[in-house]
């Protein structure tokens, strides 16, 4: 009987290990760096970081400060404003077109995550759904930290709303992967962090995994422990915690499967804590550990920062949104951390090397294209947009007879930048018409002071400094030495609205106003 019991026990253990290994194999491992989407200058996430394509976790969707159940980008842009200001929809489409993947992160440290401010569960579910539907997502990330993490009532709402959303998506055969991103110490998740995981699991959310932020350890990291050692310790401790949390929720997983439920996100280079610097060597070591253990997800904060600071950046110990604060010696954290992570987050249906081309239904039709169709007979100025072969391009400088999709030219040789494909539902952008007599035509004999405005060939210009006889035509050709700035369509509309308001108030319209910005939208 003892021998039989031993055989049965050995068989049971072997079967569990087999099931655990099979579950781990089905999990997949993927890399996607975070992108601070609203940080300026806007990071070009649509240009893949590797030859095989790239993935990005765009952050952060938060509650609109004036409408608690309304999602916004960084409390600064609505969906439509993000598209008009940052070309966000078109750039996402461009990344997908090139074989990359996109996920979206909610929350962050600085603003209210939707569940914190939106107290109605159904409204909260609809808010999450609006983001998923707008950007056609299959993976989302909940970055819950700071005051958002301490709000347990918000955590319960978040879990309930996301479980409802997952149920709806599953019924429609459109599954949604949900990652929970949490702060961590070398000893593992904090108590609010384990509470957040428990709320999700007990609330019925099918978590894709828990992503830990191996950064800003502060006093929890012993002085003798470097950032790599602290990160590995945090990963191993969290792995043990997840085993307990999943078992308590009635969802026991084997150790290999649990590694696939874990994500790692270091802050590259200089951390917010001055004494913490995550080096290239640390990145290589963390990647080796993650690949060996079968970690399900690798990320980093952030792709915006994956570069050496310029000599003009005076103090690299002060964290920059645009550089890492260390000398990267021409290397990329994304390349080092992402090595061996070739799986998919299932954000798109396929990640083959030959992505589907732009849908054939999108044609260069001047009646429906959002911008004019490129013509070899036309001349174009900086920031002007055209449509060509189903894609939108923006001019870098004055040019003529330069085919936008010329496959021979290098990026620094072509006068065009590809923004992304024409989107279904795009409509022609109509340039504003300036009524005759509203703004004086440019006069070569006239003396112009800074802020004066004139019109030339349907364009409106603003004087940068005193001039006489200098035609605004040079500004159209991209001359930096021209005393004129051409106003964008939005600036012209704003100007006309201001003049109408002055007329309505009985005031005489004047040709001066606030100096124009540098962005363009035509």
**What phi and psi values does residue 412 have, to the nearest 5 degrees?**
-85, 0
Beta partners for 230?
none
Judged on CB neighbours under 10 Å (0-12, 13-18, 19+), 19 is: middle
- Give residue 506's pLDDT: 63
Beta carbons within 10 angstroms of residue 503's beta carbon: 11
Provide the token pair at 13.
């253990």
Greater pLDDT, 258 or 494: 258
Say which residues have a Cβ less than 8 Å from residue 245's Cβ, sequence separation at least 6: 194, 197, 198, 201
DSSP one-letter code for 77: B
pLDDT one-digit tens code per residue, 239-250: 999 999 999 999
Token pair, residue 481, equals 């030495």
**What's the pLDDT at 458?**
78
Element (H, E) at 161: helix 152-171
Q: What is the pLDDT of residue 252?
A: 95
Q: How confident is the model at residue 20 (pLDDT cuts 50, 70, 90)?
A: low
**How far apart are alpha carbons 371 and 364 in whole angstroms?**
10
Lowest-confidence region among 129-133, 193-197, 341-345: 341-345
Residue 174 clears pLDDT 60, i.e. is over it: yes
> Which one has a higher pLDDT value, 119 or 369?
119
Q: What is the mean pLDDT of residues 115-130?
A: 98
C-alpha pair distances (Å), 133 with each of 129, 136, 140, 332, 489: 6, 5, 12, 33, 30
Nearest to 337 by CA among 292, 294, 300: 300
What DSSP assignment string belongs to 354-414? SPPPSPTT----TTT-SSPBP-TT-EE-TT-EEEETTEEEEESS-EES--TT-SSS-TTT-
Q: Calculate mean pLDDT across residues 445-465.
A: 91
pLDDT bin (cut points 50, 70, 90) of residue 379 is confident
Query: CA-to-CA distance for 501 and 21, rounded, in angstroms?
Result: 70
Lowest-pLDDT range, 173-187, 438-452, 467-481? 467-481
Mean pLDDT of 355-375: 70
The pLDDT, as a whole number, for residue 348 is 34
| CATH no. for 358-428 | 2.10.10.20
Looking at residue 347, its pLDDT comes to 39
- Indicate the pLDDT class of residue 21, thresholds 50, 70 and 90: low
pLDDT value, residue 43:
95
Ranges for all domains in the chain classified under CATH 2.10.10.20 = 358-428, 430-522
CA atoms within 13 A on the CB side of 125: 16
User: What is the pLDDT, as a whole number, of residue 476?
Assistant: 74
- Which residue(s) pair with 73 in the sheet? 61, 77
Q: Sorting pLDDT into bands at 50, 70 and 90, what band is 478?
A: low
Is the confidence at residue 376, as pLDDT, over 50? yes
Q: Which residues contact 161 (CB under 8 A, 6 or more apart)?
A: 115, 121, 122, 124, 125, 128
What fold does the segment set 23-338 form as a domain? TIM Barrel (3.20.20)
Give residue-wise pLDDT tens across range 30-41.
999 999 999 999
Among 276, 342, 268, smallest CA distance to 304 is for 268
For residue 467, is pLDDT > 50? Answer: yes
Among 172, 141, 170, CA closest to 158: 141
Q: What residue spans in the chain does CATH classification 3.20.20.80 cover?
A: 23-338
Rounded mean pLDDT of the chain? 87
Concatenated DSSP letters for 276-317? -EE-HHHHHHHHHHHHHHT-SEE--B-GGG-SPPPTT---TT
Q: pLDDT tens for residues 63-111? A: 999 999 999 999 999 999 999 999 999 999 999 988 899 999 999 999 9
| CATH number 3.50.50.60 given to 430-522 | no
pLDDT, residue 507, reads 53
pLDDT at 349: 33
Least confident of 49-63, 113-127, 270-284: 49-63
CA pseudo-torsion sign 74, 76, 78, 79: negative
| pLDDT over threshold 50, residue 519 | no
Q: How far apart are the first and last CA of the chain?
A: 84
Least confident of 264-273, 309-318, 343-352, 389-398: 343-352
Helices assigned H by DSSP within 413-509: 473-476, 489-504
Residue-wise pLDDT for 405-438, tens only, equals 887 777 778 899 999 999 988 888 777 788 888 8
Structure tokens at 357: 């081309």
Q: 504 pLDDT exceeds 80?
A: no
Please say whether the beta carbons of 269 and 326 come within 8 A.
yes
- So what's the pLDDT on residue 25? 55
- 299 pLDDT band, cuts 50/70/90, is very high
Q: Which residue has the tokens 């702060």?
A: 183
Reduced to 3 states, what is the DSSP secondary structure of residue 342? strand
| Alpha carbon 53 to chain centroid, angstroms | 16
pLDDT per residue as tens digits for the range 384-398: 899 999 999 999 988
pLDDT above 50 (res 183): yes
């Amino acid at each position: 009987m003892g021998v039989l019991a031993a055989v049965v026990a050995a068989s049971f253990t072997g079967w569990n290990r087999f099931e655990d290994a099979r579950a781990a194999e089905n999990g997949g491992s993927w890399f996607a760096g975070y992108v601070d989407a609203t940080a300026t200058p806007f990071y070009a996430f649509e240009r893949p970081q590797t030859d095989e394509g790239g993935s990005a976790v765009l952050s952060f969707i938060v509650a609109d400060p004036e409408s608690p159940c309304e999602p916004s980008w960084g409390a600064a842009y609505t969906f439509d404003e993000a598209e008009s200001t940052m070309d966000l929809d078109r750039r996402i489409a461009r990344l997908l077109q090139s074989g990359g993947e996109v996920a979206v992160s909610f929350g962050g440290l600085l603003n209210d995550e939707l569940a914190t401010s939106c107290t109605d569960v159904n409204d909260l579910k609809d808010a999450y759904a609006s983001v998923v539907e707008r950007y056609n997502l299959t993976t989302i990330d909940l970055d819950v930290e700071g005051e958002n993490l301490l709000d347990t009532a918000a955590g319960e709402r978040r879990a309930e709303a996301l479980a409802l959303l997952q149920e709806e998506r599953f019924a429609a055969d459109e599954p949604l992967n949900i990652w929970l991103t949490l702060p961590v110490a070398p000893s593992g998740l904090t108590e609010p962090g384990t509470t957040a995981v428990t709320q999700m699991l007990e609330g019925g959310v099918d978590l894709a995994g828990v992503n830990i932020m191996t950064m800003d350890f502060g006093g929890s990291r012993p002085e003798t422990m470097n950032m790599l050692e602290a990160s590995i310790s945090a990963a191993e401790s969290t792995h043990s915690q997840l085993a307990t949390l999943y078992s308590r929720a009635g969802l026991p997983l084997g150790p290999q499967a649990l590694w696939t439920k874990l994500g790692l996100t270091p802050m590259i280079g200089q951390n917010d804590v001055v004494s913490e610097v995550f080096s290239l060597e640390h990145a290589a070591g963390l990647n080796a550990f993650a690949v060996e253990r079968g970690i399900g997800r690798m990320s980093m904060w952030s792709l915006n920062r994956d570069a050496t600071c310029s000599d003009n950046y005076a103090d690299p110990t002060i964290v920059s949104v645009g550089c890492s604060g260390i000398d990267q010696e021409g290397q990329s954290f994304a390349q080092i951390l992402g090595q061996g992570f070739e799986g998919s987050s299932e954000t798109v249906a396929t990640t083959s090397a030959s992505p589907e081309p732009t849908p054939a239904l999108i044609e260069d039709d001047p009646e429906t294209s959002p911008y004019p169709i490129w013509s070899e007979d036309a001349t174009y100025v900086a920031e002007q947009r055209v449509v060509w072969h189903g894609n939108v391009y923006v001019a870098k400088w004055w040019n003529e007879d330069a085919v936008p999709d010329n496959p021979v030219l290098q990026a620094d040789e072509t006068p065009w930048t590809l923004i992304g494909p024409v989107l279904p539902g795009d409509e022609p952008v109509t340039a504003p018409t300036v009524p005759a007599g509203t703004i004086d035509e440019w006069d070569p004999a006239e003396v112009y002071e800074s802020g004066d405005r004139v019109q030339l060939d349907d364009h409106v210009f603003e004087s940068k400094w005193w001039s006489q006889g200098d035609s605004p035509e040079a500004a159209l050709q991209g001359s930096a030495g021209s005393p004129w700035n051409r106003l964008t369509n939005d600036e012209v509309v704003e100007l006309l609205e201001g003049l109408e308001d002055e007329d309505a108030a009985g005031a005489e319209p004047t040709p001066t106003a606030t100096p124009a910005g540098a962005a363009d939208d035509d």
